[in-house]
Amino acid sequence: MTAVSKKLTLEEYLAYDDGTETRYELVDGELVEMPPETKRNNLIAIYLLSKFLTLVSLDLICHKDTEIVVTGNRTRVRLPDLMILTEELRAAIGGKRATITPDMPPPALVVEVVSPGKANEDRDYRYKRSEYAARGIPEYWIVDPGDARVTVLTLVEGLYEESVFQGSERITSTTFPDLEMTVAQVLEAGASE
């Protein structure tokens, strides 16, 4: 991997190519390599994608392939596990690079599946929570296989209100009220390795 010693601007990040298939997030100007996901996390994200397909068209669903620019001390670019776009956002992205820039509307929903490790928990529960709220994302889900729960954060007056679901509880979504699934179904999808 090529090391980048200086802090990158958003424009430099968007133009950066090290000639590999390595995926990065930009955190305060630094490239942070995203390790490959666990099989369990991938299966959970795919299961959720299949459930959302019953409610929205495929062209509104992004699975680990669309990044979103958020703010922090410096610009940050995140690569969520799953995103549901609005029609307006899909049109704004058009045929360009799959990057949601600050001048575009926010996605309708973002899902992160927590990878094992304290750093990953901090990133998903703490940092991304504030970044996604500041970006105006109406709903943010944190799927945590390690703690066997799904946290649904709903944006209310600029801050997220939290609902935690476990076991056989039905996950409720204000953005997708017709969604029918339980935490157990989501986690079982990841257990079928």
What's the predicted TM-score (pTM) here?
A: 0.87
Q: Give CA torsion, residues 56, 136, 80, 166, to 10 deg.
A: -80
Q: What is the pLDDT of residues 47-101, one digit of tens each?
A: 999 999 999 999 999 998 899 999 755 778 999 999 999 999 999 999 888 999 9
Residues 104-116: b if buried by 16+ CB within 10 A, e if exposed: bebbbbbbbbbbe
Q: What is the pLDDT of residues 132-175, one digit of tens each?
A: 999 999 999 999 999 999 999 999 999 999 999 999 999 999 99
Tokens of 90: 């899909």
Could you state, in order of their start, the residue ranges of all structural domains in the chain?
37-66+78-190
For residue 170, give the amino acid letter: R
Q: What is the pLDDT of residues 130-139, one digit of tens each?
A: 999 999 999 9
CATH topology of domain 37-66+78-190: tt1808, chain A (3.90.1570)
Which H or E run contains 182? none
Conformation bin of residue 117: beta by default, left when phi > 0, alpha when psi is -120 to 50: left
Half-sphere exposure of 111 (CA within 13 A, CB side): 27
